Amino acid sequence: MIAPETSRAMHADQPLRNPSYPSNCLHFASPFMEAPSSPTQTQSPPIRLSIIIVGAGLGGLATAIALAQTGHSVTIYEQTPVLGEVGAGIQIPSNSTRILFKLGLEPYLAPYVTEPESISFRRWQNGKIIGKTRLVPNFVDHFEAPYYVVHRADFHSALCHRARDAGVKIELGARVVGYSAVGGSVTLADGTEHSADLIVAADGIKSVARMVLLEGQEMSFTRPGFAAYRAVVEVEKMRNDPELSWILERPALNIWIGDSRHVMTYTIGAGKAFNMVLSHPDSSDPSTWNEKTALEDMKAEFQGWDPVLTKIIGLVDKTIKWPLMSGSLLNRWRLGKLVILGDAAHAMLPYMSQGAAMAVEDGIALARSLSHMRTVEELQMALEIFQTVRIERAGQMQEASLLNGQLWHFADGPLQEARDAAMAPEVEGRPFSHSPNQWSDPATQMWCYGYDSERAIDVAWGKADAGPQDVRSVL
């Protein structure tokens, strides 16, 4: 038996440290805890690299900002002659917002973002709320960052401006057609070659770099048999209709869920447009899709659903149809001086709204891992640690996204009724310890939105520094 004096002595003056498992138990003590020191604070001088990034999409730009902010020289090669993004709305969840703010994006995003107060899951037939996640103030209180929605083009523009202000060089009309992983170089379509200490390929789902990294093999894709229509409705059309105007009174995400289908909606453009994503079964070849009948086909898919929803769908003037697919779990993201990230490495279904967020996490994790280098020779260790940590995280998020595709799409029956009953406490404001709504489920919520990319890298480096073992054996 341990004497009381001994027991007290064991805990006296020991600093509180965040646990290695997902937990908010020490959130109350955050004002009293010392911030972990950056690895670069103990290095003199820090290692500075010349880095080429291929692709100026959301992930490429976020990565460029993170790397430039830690002192590296960064040049982006982007194949399009004019910067811009297609698409409509995109969610910026708290795990991503927290990173973006650290990268100095807060004032760049402020004019464009909307902060929804909640996420409501609605029954397909009548719009009854069957699940509800309270975002304001809960997510700021729990995860120290807001949950935003924004037009994809505005998000991209904010990243572009921040990247240029951070000293990132962006070369447009520069299509990369070849990579040398060993030599650390890229070849452009015009025949010119450019070298760097590190090549980061953020070149999307059709990645050229991935083929090089996988030595000519292509990543296999899972096609779950779904496609999504994307559309935007002018808010004024809805505001003038008393049957629809209520949905605009407070910013919120609303998701109607039913048999093999769902519709996600929210306002974007600082509340000026109503964004819609309409998922439905479709295993056909996208090359056979008829753009001329897309609008008619979309409306037919949701006949008989909640009259409020179908009335909103009736206001849509045009739509674009997108195939949905999930990439397979890769066991390698790097080769020599080449590393891939973002959709090139982990394309996933949009059902957790985490695709772009994972690319943002990739970027800051890569910058953090490089900051641990004490010599240039440790580049391979830095890339190995980055790869190992991020493969696990992105793979789990792919899994969570696929699971939502099942949870939302139950046909009416016993399983659907059990799901709805399990979400009832969050709607009614009663305590709950689990929920089929992964935005609300306490364990999933902590893992998803409370994840700290930099800390995960620091922990992995700490294990690698503890001994001469192979990096993979200690992660």
Residues noted as catalytic: 230
- Whose structure tokens read 């959301």? 58
Here the tokens at position 257 are 């869920």
- Contact of 159 with 112, CB cutoff 8 Å: no
What distance in Å separates the CA atoms of residue 16 and residue 316, rounded to the nearest whole number?
54
Supply 336's token pair: 């020599």
Task: Render 267-297 in DSSP notation, one character per residue.
Answer: EETTTTEEEEEEEEE--S-GGG--GGGHHHH
d(CA 352, CA 405): 9
CA distance 180 to 21: 39
Whether the link from the prior residue into 146 is cis, omega within 30° of 0, is no
Contact 219, 327 (CB under 8 A): yes
Distance CA 188, CA 185 (A): 10
Round to whole Å and give the CA distance between 288 and 448: 37
d(C-alpha 47, C-alpha 370), whole Å: 8
Neighbours of 2 (CB within 10 A): 9
- Six-digit token string for 385: 């640690």
- Per the listing, tokens 């995280």 go with 393
CA–CA gap between residue 155 and residue 112 (Å, rounded): 8
Neighbours of 321 (CB within 10 A): 20
H-helix or E-strand containing 74? strand 73-77
**Which conformational region is residue 13 in: left (phi greater than 0), alpha (psi within -120 to 50 degrees), or beta?**
left
